[in-house]
Amino acid sequence: MVNTTIKTTKSQEIFAAAQNLMPGGVSSPVRAFKSVGGQPIVFDRVKGAYIWDVDGNQYIDYVGTWGPAICGHAHPEVIAALHEALEKGTSFGAPSVLENVLAEMVIDAVPSIEMVRFVNSGTEACMGVLRLMRAFTKRDKIIKFEGCYHGHADTFLVKAGSGVATLGLPDSPGVPKAATSTTLTAPFNDLESVKALFEENRDEIAGVILEPVVGNAGFIAPDAGFLEGLRELTHEHGALLVFDEVMTGFRIAYGGAQEKFGVTPDLTTLGKVIGGGLPVGAYGGRRDIMSMVAPAGPVYQAGTLSGNPLAMTAGIKTLELLQKPGTYDYLERITKKLANGLLQIAKETGHPACGGQISAMFGLFFTSGPVNNYEDAKKSDTAKFGRFHRGMLEHGVYLAPSQFEAGFTSFAHTEEDIEQTLAVARDVMSSL
């Protein structure tokens, strides 16, 4: 059972000390709870669908370390595999057979990937794929979508979502104008705006990059025909289509969004799930494009910890677990129960709300909607979300501390966890 009330004295003390040691007291901005109020809890340990803070409080977790924990935290088979790998060393900085094994699994699963390069984060994967798409097409401009987040590289910090949206920063100081002068933006789910950009920049656009299901402006699904339309437009204009599946890869389907929607991009970025909770990223795609990456080709990219044996081990075991029959059916069922339940409770308690889910990814906006893009998402009542978040937290349910973040489930979550969460949500929404 989760707690019905919490005391966070130790968390408050630790966070107060952290603010003198690290900017904002955190190692990544959204963790600071700036958009939801109050102070963050400080984690002590995690297991399955649950987390415990340093004060001993237990919570049902719907953040899942921001997506990787699709099997649940500290899955015993993943931990056992890591213990065995640890005995062989924590880092090689040289080839290992583990890279081959995970590469084959990724290539077999993801429709667009014929070759893959492992890196250390989603940001790094997106940086690599950006350089590659420009080199392959010999063009400089790219199109991204408002509210889509592709890491914190300079070129991508234009109308980004996630932490930038949460903190109310339109872009970021320290990013020179020259770094973003070749970045074009369009509203998500708006094909006509993309067509216009291609017309205005003929033979100058290297490619289009997007989250096929947005998770960094809250959960936003693609409209019917949107991804297909982008595929046609990029073909027509000799540009590349890149799916940033750092969040959706192996989460909304084993083969990612491209399997789910039947649209195959030229290049794909991955992260989160493929590292089983350890730092990892990857980019891959067509063999003729990936063959340009050094040392096979002239496009340089390197990393000391790339292909780290611990990350490869955790990723291999995680993907093995996801292949068990019925896994994604279960994820779909419990997540739909959660998402639909939250919407029904909001309706019954008089709060305009919209949202939805795909497999193990969900979202809730406090606005009547519909939310088709970032501009729509910004109409949400963020103050109400902050109160909702705090109420859920104080009754043992940990949600992403931002209106502009998707939520995640795992196959460690039980039907009872979902029912408990909805019972808490009813109490909290009734008092908002």
- Is residue 267 within 8 A of residue 112, CB to CB? The reply is yes
Q: Is 317 a catalytic residue?
A: no
Q: Which residues is 356 bridged to in the sheet?
A: 363
Q: Is 50 a catalytic residue?
A: no
Cα separation, 145 vs 133, in Å, equals: 17
Question: What DSSP letter does each residue of 6-57 carry, written as one string?
Answer: ---HHHHHHHHHHTTTSGGGSSSGGGG-TTT-S-PPPEEEEEBTEEEETT--
Contacts of residue 235, defined as CB under 8 A and 6 or more positions apart, other chains included, come to: none
Contacts of residue 186, defined as CB under 8 A and 6 or more positions apart, other chains included, come to: 143, 144, 145, 146, 193, 194, 197
Alpha carbons within 13 angstroms on the beta-carbon side of residue 394 total: 12
Kind and range of the H or E run holding 116: strand 115-119
Q: Is 272 a catalytic residue?
A: yes
Give SS3 for 205: strand
The candidate with the shortest Cα–Cα distance to 69, out of 287, 276, 243, is 276
Length of the chain: 432
Cα separation, 63 vs 405, in Å, equals: 9
Of 53, 55, 61, 244, which one is the catalytic site residue?
244
Of 149, 283, 374, 398, which one is the catalytic site residue?
149
CA angle 110, 114, 116 (to 5 degrees): 85
Cα separation, 281 vs 272, in Å, equals: 7
CA 314 from chain centre, in angstroms, equals 18
Angle, helix 415-431 to helix 327-348, in steps of 10 degrees = 20
Q: Could you tell me the CA-to-CA distances from 364 to 137, 327, 406 in Å, in that order? A: 39, 24, 8
Cα separation, 219 vs 391, in Å, equals: 21
Kind and range of the H or E run holding 97: helix 97-109
Take residue 274 and report the two structure tokens written for it: 């493929």
Of 34, 260, 272, 378, which one is the catalytic site residue?
272
CA angle 173, 176, 181 (to 5 degrees): 120
354-358/141-145 β-pairing: unpaired
Residue type, 299: V
- Kindly list the catalytic residues: 149, 244, 272
